Structure 1
Amino acid sequence: MNPYNVSTPARPWWKTTQAVLGVLALVALLGAFSFSLGFLMMIAAMVAVWVLPPWRRFVRLGAAFGAFVLLTVGAGLGGQLDSSGTEKTDAKTRDGSGANAEVASSPTASTPPKTADYTGKPLDEAEKLARSAGYTTVHHDAAEENRAIIVRPLWTVCFQKVNTAVNTIDFAAVNTAEPCPEQDGGPLPWPKMPDVVGATYNTAVEDLKQAGIDLARVTLDDVYLDIDAPTAEEAAEDGDEWRVCFQSPVKETKVTSATTVHLDLGKWTDADLAQRCPSAKDTTYKFPANDPAPHPDPDPDPDDDRHNSTTVGGGSTGGDSVGTVHPGSFCSSPGAAGVTEAGTPMVCGSGSDGRNRWHRA
């Protein structure tokens, strides 16, 4: 047998050059769809190049380098090398935000936070809170007068206007003692004085409340020369006996923060003979006996010892007793004696004002 005529056994198909070239082609194909799969196939192709075909060394080196080139070309054609876009997409997918997170992160597309309501607060406090929330503040007079605001703690916020584009709040305020207008720049809605003349004190108080007038601004006085002005508590205690005889200001006058309401009161019950207001204030005595003007005796009798002294204003000369008197009331005869309704002895003498008054004996 001729040894040169012996046929060479066939190589398995996976060791053939065609199989290795097919593996190299898969590197480019898989790299176009997935860089990671293409990379694994490139490693497999390099191993196959060095193990399977009977290639020379420099051919194997060229084939290994070709596998790397094929991976790069395939991945580039498939867009797998756009790592920045891939990483952004993966990051959005990992944190669950996706496209919505990208919109939310945009300052123009985000919804601005709800601004706190500062109305009713002192202007300085409102501005401090707004600035701490990141806003720039400005202010102006909420009334139509357009006054300058100097002492901000003495002003109260009525309205606020927010500009989210530039993070600015414009406060409209009025003096703390003033009511807010119905709209920014409108007139101040001051209450108007009702007509309470002739009403009892209790009725007058209710009318003032309904008109929106603060009772702390109301002062009381009496209309009599011999009666002290009652306090608000004393007038309320006998509120149906005290009547309003005069008022200031007059009906329909605006009661501003600088206005003081005056009520001049008269007092009478069903037992009093005079049950009406005097024609003017400080012209009448509640108790006529306290009038220091002389009163002529309607039936003088010169032989009557009682007329040896003159009775004047609930008092008499000579130390005679004149009956029931009222402490602090005027009297005309120093030394005259009397008693109160409770039976306390009283004497007519000079008071602290230099005029004769009844005081405790």
Structure 2
Amino acid sequence: MDSYPSAPPPPSSPPVAVRRWWRRPGGVAGALVVLFVGVWFARSLLGGGAAEREPVRGDGRPPRGTVTASASVSPEPAGPPVLVGKGLREAQEVAAGAGYSVVSHDASDQDARQWDADEWTVCFQTSAGQREGGRPALDLGVVRVGAPCPAVDGGKLPWPRMPAVTGMTFARAGEALGPIAFRKVEPESAYSDVELPGVADPWKVCFQDPEPGRTVENPQYATVYLKLAPPGAPCPERAYATLRPAPKP
């Protein structure tokens, strides 16, 4: 018979050593890797990694449809447009479209003001520096429409001089006066008692107004008067004489 009233309890198992994860070999490094992957994944979801994941075309450019950030910079003018020969109003519009401001001045020695841009033509253009917050400007030397440009900016206008057309036929005189561009050439009979025919081309010029050599300013507004004698008749000593005077009593 067993001397013990009951079986003795089994011996206790040795305690299991609990090791913390940060104390394990490689635990810190692994944690850092997990943290980095988590941050990268979060950025990807929020679009932060779009630049790293954007495919690139073979020529090094992003594919079509890709929006790239760029600085908002106003384009610089490529160069001043050529405005010489244009009307002032057109020149102002062309310059503005090219990114330039415009100032103007009288290119003659008269120093007139340009109240109406439609009445002026550009002869010269130069740079006028920068105005209006850095916008480049052009200075235009202009003359009135129909006037010739001076040889230099600020010089005298080279108005034409009236040529001598006396002794020519009316047809030939018209050809000689054509380049001056008078508003009108008006024929008249040099004799008070001789009517001018409908076509006076063969008639001879006896008197002219303006006189030969006279400076003609603004010929586009001027009229030339030519007094003519019929073919075969001499020119009178004065205008409006009679070709066939009445017989003396």
TM-score (norm 1): 0.46
Equivalent in the alignment of 2:16: none
Q: CA deviation at 1:126?
A: 2.5
Deviations 1:42-64 (A, max 9, x none): xxxxxxxxxxxxx8622233343
Q: Which amino acid aligns with 1:228?
A: E
Spell out the pairing of 1:13-52 with structure 2 (5 A cutoff): none
Spell out the pairing of 1:165-180 with structure 2 (5 A cutoff): 165=130, 166-180=135-149
Deviations 1:21-73 (A, max 9, x none): xxxxxxxxxxxxxxxxxxxxxxxxxxxxxxxxxx862223334346689xxxx
Alpha-carbon distance between aligned partners in 2 of 1:180 and 1:151, rounded to the nearest angstrom: 18
Q: Which amino acid aligns with 2:103?
A: V
Alpha-carbon distance between aligned partners in 1 of 2:77 and 2:92, rounded to the nearest angstrom: 19
Q: Which amino acid aligns with 2:226?
A: L
TM-score (norm 2): 0.65
Conserved? CA contact 1:222–1:230, under 8 Å: no
Q: CA deviation at 1:120?
A: 3.1
Equivalent in the alignment of 2:22: 58
Alpha-carbon distance between aligned partners in 1 of 2:181 and 2:144, rounded to the nearest angstrom: 16
Equivalent in the alignment of 2:208: 247
Deviations 1:99-120 (A, max 9, x none): xxxxxx8979x87324333333
Q: CA deviation at 1:151?
A: 2.2
Alpha-carbon distance between aligned partners in 2 of 1:107 and 1:185, rounded to the nearest angstrom: 39
Aligned CA-pair RMSD: 3.7
Alpha-carbon distance between aligned partners in 2 of 1:94 and 1:119, rounded to the nearest angstrom: 43
Unaligned ranges ≥5, structure 1:
1-54, 70-82, 97-104, 270-274, 297-361
Q: Secondary structure at the match of 1:280?
A: coil
Equivalent in the alignment of 1:282: 240
Alpha-carbon distance between aligned partners in 1 of 2:180 and 2:176, rounded to the nearest angstrom: 9
Alpha-carbon distance between aligned partners in 2 of 1:223 and 1:157, rounded to the nearest angstrom: 43
Q: Secondary structure at the match of 2:105?
A: strand
Alpha-carbon distance between aligned partners in 2 of 1:136 and 1:194, rounded to the nearest angstrom: 43
Alpha-carbon distance between aligned partners in 1 of 2:29 and 2:247, rounded to the nearest angstrom: 146
Alpha-carbon distance between aligned partners in 2 of 1:229 and 1:149, rounded to the nearest angstrom: 44
Q: Which amino acid aligns with 1:221?
A: E
Alpha-carbon distance between aligned partners in 1 of 2:29 and 2:180, rounded to the nearest angstrom: 102
Equivalent in the alignment of 2:167: 198
Alpha-carbon distance between aligned partners in 2 of 1:230 and 1:157, rounded to the nearest angstrom: 44
Q: CA deviation at 1:247?
A: 1.3
When residues 63 and 149 of structure 1 are mapped into structure 2, their CA distance, relative to the original with a 3 A threshold, is closer
Unaligned ranges ≥5, structure 2:
1-18, 36-48, 64-70
Alpha-carbon distance between aligned partners in 1 of 2:118 and 2:196, rounded to the nearest angstrom: 37
Spell out the pairing of 1:221-232 with structure 2 (5 A cutoff): 221-229=188-196
Equivalent in the alignment of 1:145: 110
Q: Secondary structure at the match of 1:206?
A: helix
Alpha-carbon distance between aligned partners in 2 of 1:58 and 1:131, rounded to the nearest angstrom: 72
Does 1:261 find its partner at 2:224? Answer: yes
Alpha-carbon distance between aligned partners in 2 of 1:111 and 1:128, rounded to the nearest angstrom: 18
When residues 207 and 134 of structure 1 are mapped into structure 2, their CA distance, relative to the original with a 3 A threshold, is same
Alpha-carbon distance between aligned partners in 2 of 1:66 and 1:135, rounded to the nearest angstrom: 60
Deviations 1:270-301 (A, max 9, x none): xxxxx32111001122xx2xx4x4544xxxxx
Deviations 1:79-126 (A, max 9, x none): xxxx9xx9xxx9xx5359xxxxxxxx8979x87324333333332232
When residues 58 and 95 of structure 1 are mapped into structure 2, their CA distance, relative to the original with a 3 A threshold, is closer
Q: Which moved more, 1:113-122 or 1:142-151?
A: 113-122
Q: CA deviation at 1:227?
A: 2.2
Alpha-carbon distance between aligned partners in 2 of 1:261 and 1:247, rounded to the nearest angstrom: 7
Deviations 1:144-186 (A, max 9, x none): 2211222221222223334575321222221112122233222
Percent identity for Structure 1 against Structure 2: 35
Equivalent in the alignment of 2:87: 122
Q: Secondary structure at the match of 1:153?
A: helix
Conserved? CA contact 1:245–1:266, under 8 Å: yes
Conserved? CA contact 2:80–2:100, under 8 Å: no
Conserved? CA contact 1:225–1:282, under 8 Å: yes
Alpha-carbon distance between aligned partners in 1 of 2:166 and 2:142, rounded to the nearest angstrom: 36
Alpha-carbon distance between aligned partners in 1 of 2:241 and 2:229, rounded to the nearest angstrom: 12
When residues 205 and 130 of structure 1 are mapped into structure 2, their CA distance, relative to the original with a 3 A threshold, is same
Count of matched residue positions in the alignment of Structure 1 and Structure 2: 200
Normalized per residue, the structure richer in helix is 1
Alpha-carbon distance between aligned partners in 2 of 1:164 and 1:106, rounded to the nearest angstrom: 24
